[in-house]
A and B are shown apart, each in its own frame.
Chain A
């Protein structure tokens, strides 16, 4: 089983947030918190991403966007919802256009609460996501190996 957890690449998607959480996400990459020491790279490219980080709720317009981003990410992948908005819809929940949290669009693995979520808890969420990423990767490798031996047996 290959070790993949040293290299989690994050794709940050800003849903209908107030931008508070987004600033905290970026703060996690600044010198004070420096998420890059875990190998985290903030990539803008779903094809290269391992962890989808969603801030803000899901509305009628970004529903398909989030779904598409998720589909474009190669397996194994992990989804983290950052902030109360992304967890449940938060302060915007009652708005006419808001459908709810990120889990209305894609299966969310880790919920990071807080309004705004603090950089410490965001990094904690990413670290947990990284563990899950490793686990999924092992499962993915096992599945690929099983499929290979299956075709060979035929």
Chain B
């Protein structure tokens, strides 16, 4: 184990929520500026979570708390797996398990809003999962291994060999980060028809835990984006950060310019994009081998 494999996971556990929260804050500020408003402070998400921690706990039931904690825990485990340089396919699977815990935390309240939102959450998982798994396959084909250090060690810069996988992953990312037009189960803006979607029955502490888990998730996903560029050279970390920044700004722009679409349409768009871009890329990689 190289020192980087020990430092990165520790950094992730400590800094993950800060990075994710800051990204959230920048998102809210930039969105406000795009709409011609002044907007909240960049630290606003942290203020929100601090307040939520201090409110009276009214839970629908105890199971919700436990399930949300499992969601958070599995999210951290996913990050640990990824940043400590183990199997990328493994971390993607643990990530799906985390999403399932979130689904249970939502559906077990039985409220009508949550029931609809949890179904939509499942459709969202169905939509992005193929793109994410195919991305892992792409890494394997180029680097010859699923292990993150091996992918980083390979000679080629990943994005030059797998641009199609990257584009498909962007679609998955928009779904995963709950950005318009794919924010069908819950979003950063109020829903007309679902109140807060999957967040409807979460209040106080539970919502704070959900929020922190989402921050970990954004930090993790951005790590995956960076993997498309980062290799052993120190300069590549810089370019990786640039790519992450560009991708995130694009997501904010998308969020502010697109209207939410129906979940059936989302499923179609994301799957077609996956088949088209990932499929073509896969074909080319197979033929070149």
Contact = CB atoms under 8 A, between A and B. Distances in A.
B54 A2 contact: yes
Given A36-B39, A37-B37, A7 B55 contact: no
A38 B199 CA distance: 22
A39 B56 contact: no
A6 B47 CA distance: 6
Given A4-B50, A4-B51, A39-B47, A45 B40 contact: no
- Interface size for chain B: under 10, 10 to 19, 20 to 34, or 35 or more residues? 20 to 34
B196 interface: yes
B3 interface: no
Contact of A45 (B36, B56, B195): B195
A48 B56 contact: no
Contacts of B38: 34, 36-37
Contacts of B199: 45, 48
A114 interface: no
B58 to A, nearest CB: 5
Interface residues of A, number: 28
A154 interface: no
B200 interface: yes
Interface stretch (A13-21, A53-61, A71-79): A71-79
A44 interface: yes
Interface stretch (B100-108, B154-162, B201-209): B201-209
Given A42-B190, A45-B199, A31 B50 contact: no
A133 B191 CA distance: 26
Most buried by A among B52, B191, B202: B52
A7 B44 contact: yes
A40 to B, nearest CB: 8
B54 A44 contact: no
A10 to B, nearest CB: 11
A94 B265 CA distance: 51
A47 B56 CA distance: 10
A50 B200 contact: no
A34 B58 CA distance: 30
Given A45-B200, A47-B201, A47-B202, A75 B56 contact: yes
Most buried by A among B40, B195, B196: B40
B192 to A, nearest CB: 9
Contacts of B207: 47-48
B14 interface: no
Contact of A39 (B36, B40, B195): B40
A8 to B, nearest CB: 8
A28 B213 CA distance: 32
Interface in B35-92: 35-41, 44, 47-48, 50-58
Contact of A2 (B39, B53, B201): B53
B126 interface: no
A141 B56 CA distance: 10
Nearest to B55: A74
B286 interface: no
B37 A48 contact: no
Most buried by A among B47, B54, B199, B203: B54
